[in-house]
């Protein structure tokens, strides 16, 4: 099982995503934004960071990268694609998932361990969860406010395309507390918080059991592997 | 060298946190006659040849597809200097 992680100029969490893939039991493959080559991977991750310094709009320039032609093509064929943070912004700019992102409502960069509810546990990246599961993974962004027009919001709420919702605190003013969404088919998922930072005891969020022991992010990658195994 | 100017604004119905922050600063400075500020973007695109309809059409397409994101922004003007 080979899962590709695309590195754009300004990606920060590409190595973390690769490590998460390894810890979940698959083989990470480093992909390059300037190539037209997915190297035959079975799934694709667009990682967090600040591609092109967030110039123009977060994810906007990356969404026009050479490799995005292949990513869009693969997504259309049902290949699982996960966009984390800047990767989510890039998916939205590429119109692979609904909505868009603006500056956080309070204008600040926010970093916190964030509680989320899994609203849809049937996507390619969430099938190892149960619907309604509450998880904690880190979030860290400045442009994380999810917005969409009223009609789109109604549609994605009705179709189960809202995959994650912020619980307890809506950190950035996202509409309907939306933290992550999917495409209609459920193979493309994007979210602002970072599952790849909650995969290894000692490096994750604090839990009631022990400091930094949270590994709620592992199930994202396990889900994709289970999707691919069938 | 001709310059084509494209202006993009956040959609009216969306919160513009930047504009809100500036409006707040104005209020603190006692500039109470200004009730709101919204901040957009201006793109100046230069070309090395005369502007014709085909080029304008291409810039209009760029404005819609790259300079702006129609989910959150509107292209409000496109002019040739």
**Considering CB atoms only, which of A60, A107, A149 is closest to B21?**
A107
φ, ψ for residue A56, nearest 5 deg:
70, -80
d(CA A67, CA A38): 8
Predicted local confidence at residue B15, as pLDDT: 84
pLDDT digits (tens, 9 = 90+) for B6-42: 999 999 988 888 899 999 999 999 999 999 999 999 9
A211: pLDDT strictly greater than 90: yes
Mean pLDDT computed over every residue of chain A:
97
ipTM for the predicted complex comes to 0.90
CB B69 to CB A60 under 8 A?
yes
Whether A154 has a pLDDT exceeding 90, the answer reads yes
Q: Which residues of B touch A (CB under 8 A)?
A: 10, 14-15, 17-18, 21, 66-67, 69, 71-72
Q: Is A100 on the interface with B (CB under 8 A)?
A: yes
Task: Give me the CATH code for the B3-80 domain, please.
Answer: 3.30.1280.10
Question: Residues 110 to 149 of A: which have CB under 8 A from any B CB?
Answer: 145, 147-149
**Contact state of A60 with B21 under an 8 Å Cβ cutoff:** no
Say if residue A73 is exposed, middle or buried (CB neighbours under 10 Å; 0-12, 13-18, 19+): exposed
pLDDT for residue B3: 97
Q: Average pLDDT for residues A168-176, to the nearest whole number?
A: 96
Query: How far off is chain A from B53, nearest CA to CA, in Å?
Result: 25
pLDDT of residue B40: 97
Averaged pLDDT of chain B: 95
pLDDT in tens, A103-139: 999 889 999 999 999 999 999 999 999 999 999 999 9
The range of the structural domain enclosing residue A147 comes to: 2-227
From chain A, the residues in CB contact with B15 under 8 A are: 102, 105, 145, 173
Q: Closest-CA residue in chain A for B63?
A: A56
Nearest CA in chain B to A98: B71
Write the pLDDT tens digit of every residue in A177-210.
999 999 999 999 999 999 999 999 999 999 999 9
| Cβ–Cβ below 8 Å for B72 and A64 | no
- Calculate Rg over the CA atoms of chain A: 16
Q: How confident is the model at residue A230 (pLDDT cuts 50, 70, 90)?
A: confident
For position A181, which CATH number holds?
A: 3.40.50.880
Residues of A annotated as catalytic (active site), given as ranges: 85, 194, 196
| pLDDT score of B1 | 82
A102/B66 Cβ within 8 A: no
Q: What is the pLDDT of residues A131-145, one digit of tens each?
A: 999 999 999 999 999
Asked if B15 lies within 8 A of A102 by C-beta distance, the reply is: yes
User: How is chain B split into domains, by residue range?
Assistant: 3-80
Strands across the sheet with B73-80, in order? B41-46, B3-10, B73-80
CA atoms within a 13 Å half-sphere pointing along the CA-CB vector of A6: 32
A83 Cβ neighbours under 8 A, 6+ residues apart: A45, A46, A89, A90, A91, A92, A96, A97, A188, A189, A190, A191
What's the pLDDT tens digit per position in A3-52?
999 999 999 999 999 999 999 999 999 999 999 999 999 999 999 999 99
- Return d(Cα A198, Cα A177) in angstroms, integer: 21
How far out from the chain centre does Cα A106 lie?
A: 22
Listed in sequence order, the residues at least 6 apart from A97 whose beta carbon sits closer than 8 Å to its beta carbon are A83, A88, A91, A161, A181, A182, A183, A188, A189, A190
pLDDT in tens, B52-78: 999 999 999 999 999 999 999 999 999
CA dihedral A88, A91, A92, A98 (to 10 degrees): -100
Query: What is the count of structural domains for chain A?
Result: 1
Q: Which of B14, B18, B66 sits opposite A147 (nearest CB)?
A: B14
Handedness of CA A54, A60, A66, A69 (dihedral sign): positive
The whole-angstrom separation of Cα A118 and Cα A125 is 11
pLDDT in tens, A56-95: 999 999 999 999 999 999 999 999 999 999 999 999 999 9
DSSP state of A79: -
């Amino acid at each position: 099982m080979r899962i590709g992680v695309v590195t754009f100029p300004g990606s920060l969490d590409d190595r973390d995503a690769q490590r998460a893939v390894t810890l979940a039991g698959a083989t990470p493959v480093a992909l390059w934004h300037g190539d037209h080559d997915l190297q035959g991977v079975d799934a694709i991750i667009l990682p967090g960071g600040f591609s092109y310094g967030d110039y123009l709009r977060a994810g906007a320039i990356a969404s026009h990268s050479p490799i995005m032609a292949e990513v869009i093509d693969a997504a259309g064929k049902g290949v699982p694609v996960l966009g984390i943070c800047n990767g989510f912004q890039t998916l939205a700019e590429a119109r692979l998932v609904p909505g868009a992102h603006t500056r956080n409502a309070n204008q600040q960069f926010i970093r916190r361990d964030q509680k989320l509810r899994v609203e849809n546990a049937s996507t390619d990246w969430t099938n190892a969860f149960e619907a309604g599961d509450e998880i904690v993974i880190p979030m860290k962004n400045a442009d994380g406010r999810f917005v969409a027009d009223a009609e789109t919001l109604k549609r994605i709420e009705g179709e189960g395309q809202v995959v994650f919702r912020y619980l307890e605190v809506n950190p950035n003013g996202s509409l309907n507390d939306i933290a992550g969404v999917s495409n209609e088919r459920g193979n493309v998922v994007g979210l602002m918080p970072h599952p790849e930072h909650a995969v290894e005891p000692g490096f994750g969020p604090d839990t009631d059991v022990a400091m930094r022991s949270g590994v709620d992010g592992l199930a994202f990658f396990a889900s994709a592997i289970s999707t691919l195994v069938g | 060298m001709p310059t084509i100017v494209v202006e993009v604004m956040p959609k009216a119905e969306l919160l513009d946190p930047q504009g809100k922050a500036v409006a707040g600063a104005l209020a603190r400075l006692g500039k109470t006659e200004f009730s709101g500020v919204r901040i957009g973007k201006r793109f100046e695109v230069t070309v090395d040849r005369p502007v014709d309809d085909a080029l304008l059409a291409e810039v209009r397409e760029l404005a819609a597809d790259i300079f702006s994101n129609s989910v959150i922004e509107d292209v409000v003007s496109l002019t040739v200097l």
